Amino acid sequence: MKRYIIPVFIVVMVVGMLFAGCTTTPAPSEPSTPSTPSTPSTPSEPSTPSTPSEPSTPVAEGATLSDIPELQGLIDKGLVDPDALVNPFPGIGIKPDGSPYVFALTYWSMVCEALTNWDGVNKSRLQKAGAEWLYQNPEADIPAQISWIEDVISGNSADCLMLHSTDEASLAPVSANCQEAGIPVIHWDRDMQPYSDPDEYVMTQFHYFNGQYGSNLVGQIFCDYAEKHNMDVHVFESWTYRSFQTCQDRHTGLHAAIDPHPMVTCTESGPEDNGSSERCMEHCIDAMTADPTINAIFVQDGGGPGAIEAVRSLGRLVPVGEEGHVVLALNDTDSAVMAALEDGYLDGFGTHGGYHLADLAIQAGLNYVCLGKPIPKIMPVPLGVVTSANKDTLMLYGATPIWPWFPPGEWDKWPVLDFSELGVPIPTAD
């Protein structure tokens, strides 16, 4: 049963890798296409390609992960491949004439740790290859992102657009214009299939696993807890963006799991949290204050720390399995979410690895643009469910998906993942 609320104040391991099914539910309705602003912003010149600064601790050419002391603990646990090269990309980002390939990187926002890490990983990979980049953070401003891409097109200033769109439907036309102008487009962390002809992009990351299937798995946590403890579970679902296809898919997947269960009900947020932990915290506090029967929280995309802090501030942060525990099953992770899991307060979270999406997209770009190798048009996104039971054994594509365990901010030392089984081999000059 679903309820809606307006605020008072204004892994046992499961990996959705293969084409497995889930409970059939109606697909979410098509989001409305945002209208074009009557007074569009004046396009600004795209930024000059950035050459990154040297990493704080340079890694020798040919080094493997076993040469990085900060990773030794993970290697000892078998969570990182010690023989993997730190930099398999040297030289592939340089054109035959000696100039660098330039990648245009634009993200919907930098509102959470995951996005910061995606950006860091992207730039680290390009740095290792010898490529350069343009960069934009539109801060979730749809017209600003469209305007920036139009500048890239008019200036013919990039060899590839890596697009993390502010809104799939709104960005589809300018994405098509970019492709028609000869600048290949790779959509990542977004599924453009409902909005674009396949000829209008090189690759799009298909979100069935990250969306409906993955959230179905996360939703099972609420059902399992209700059955194990013979109790009613009342979930508060914090919406991130109703217009995002990913959020719609995650909503559908969650309800495919919980709606048929007689012991699980759900209240959906009225306002959106926009991936902000602060907003998520406010909405959770408002909802749980208005209805104290809420004893579980699901966060669609980002904002997870806010849910944890909301429960803490209400004096309801109780360890898993103990009386009064608020069931916390989230999508995505960061250092605060992982700390809550390790401390025994979080039941589990769905994750595509924190940086898996970025690593997959940038490797696809290096293969396609720099090496001229074909890549799959539709790319399924890996997703697993992390719990206290599997956190020390879970592996996705050669490394643990728990990125808070990697050296913070030292993205040059984060393992290069191996997506060969998905049709994207590690790009090398050989």
260-270 pLDDT, tens digit each:
999 999 999 99
Q: How far is CA 156 from CA 173, 183, 362, in A?
A: 17, 8, 20
3-class DSSP assignment, residue 283: helix
Across all residues in the chain, what is the average pLDDT? 84
- What's the pLDDT at 209? 58
3-class DSSP assignment, residue 312: helix
Report how far apart the first and last C-alpha atoms of the chain are (Å, whole number).
57
- What's the pLDDT at 275? 82
| 298 close to 235: Cβ distance less than 8 angstroms | yes
Q: What is the pTM of this model?
A: 0.79
**One-letter amino acid for residue 300 of the chain:** Q
How is domain 209-338 classified at the CATH fold level? Rossmann fold (3.40.50)
Residue 56 confidence (pLDDT) above 60: no
- What's the pLDDT at 54? 42
Residue 48 confidence (pLDDT) above 60: no
Tokens of 351: 């994750």
Tokens of 287: 């909802």
22 compared with 226, residue with greater pLDDT: 226
The residue among 306, 355, 298, 350 whose CA lies nearest residue 328 is 298
Residue 282 confidence (pLDDT) above 50: yes
* CATH 3.40.50.2300 intervals, the chain: 84-206+353-369+385-422, 209-338
Angle value at C-alpha 418, between 414 and 422, nearest 5 degrees: 140
Residue 55 confidence (pLDDT) above 70: no
Run of H or E including 329:
strand 327-331
| pLDDT (tens digit per residue) in 187-202 | 988 888 888 898 999 9
Which CATH architecture best describes the domain 84-206+353-369+385-422? 3-Layer(aba) Sandwich (3.40)
- How many angstroms separate the CA atoms of 73 and 397, rounded? 18
